[in-house]
Amino acid sequence: MTNTSNPDTALVLFSGGQDSATCLAWALERYPRVETVGFEYGQRHGVEMQARLDVRRSMVERFDQWADRLGEDFVIDLSGYGAIAESALTADRAIEIQENGLPSTFVPGRNLVFLTVASALAYRRGHDVMVGGMCETDFSGYPDCRRATIDAMQSALSLGLDRKLVLETPLMFIDKGATWALAHQLGGTDLVDLIRRETHTCYTGDRSTLHEWGHGCGTCPACELRARGWQEWTEAA
């Protein structure tokens, strides 16, 4: 462990989904040394944690230029937080729109907690940059995905750590179609294929069917968003 800063490294918040896998590729293109962090917070589906490992392994196997750059992976147990934040993602509740207009998949304060915990790791590991897949274009109403929230966190963490910490959000202002386009730009059809096959986005944890846009139940909000983005990208390409 080191706590001296290094501008050539980045810590990627990596869940194993389409967005964070694209962010990981984005970071590997830019930074000579990249580490990843994921969180266990009582997800119903171990498939997400398996997808993290599969994506990391495939990126090393299929992209020589990234293999030497991808460093350690950290998984942090936040199951205590998961118990507080219980919602449809972490408990057995239906996925629906609640009275306050937010989907029941909203985990209150999730990104605030993730960024705070990740910043402690970044500090210890000497990263000045953290990269996350937050996006306010398709944000499903999640208020902690807005850039304004991320800007406030960047200020708070930099002040609280007394070290400038930059929070990069390469997907913030693009939609899901453009996220596929970004993956294609970063790693061509090889990366698109890797993300399609290896990442996991579906809320129900369904890996039984490989659609043209990837694995999933095909009907939950996350699958609908992913399928629509794929369609937009393929129609535009």
Query: Which chain residues interact with Zn ion by CB under 5 A?
Result: 202, 204, 216-217, 220, 223
Nearer to Zn ion, 17 or 126 (CB): 17
Nearer to Zn ion, 109 or 218 (CB): 218
77 neighbors 121 (Cβ within 8 angstroms): no
Report, in Å, the least distance between residue 139 CB and Zn ion. Answer: 18
In whole angstroms, how far apart are CA 176 and each of 84, 94, 231?
A: 30, 24, 10
**How far apart, in whole angstroms, are the C-alpha atoms of residue 132 and residue 22?**
10
Nearer to Zn ion, 140 or 204 (CB): 204
Nearest to 15 by CA among 32, 33, 42, 37: 37
**How far apart, in whole angstroms, are the C-alpha atoms of residue 137 and residue 42?**
27
Nearer to Zn ion, 191 or 202 (CB): 202
Report, in Å, the least distance between residue 64 CB and Zn ion. Answer: 33
Nearer to Zn ion, 178 or 223 (CB): 223
Report, in Å, the least distance between residue 215 CB and Zn ion. Answer: 9
Report, in Å, the least distance between residue 193 CB and Zn ion. Answer: 20
Report, in Å, the least distance between residue 97 CB and Zn ion. Answer: 16
Pure H helices in 12-164: 18-30, 46-62, 64-67, 79-84, 110-125, 147-161
75 neighbors 46 (Cβ within 8 angstroms): no
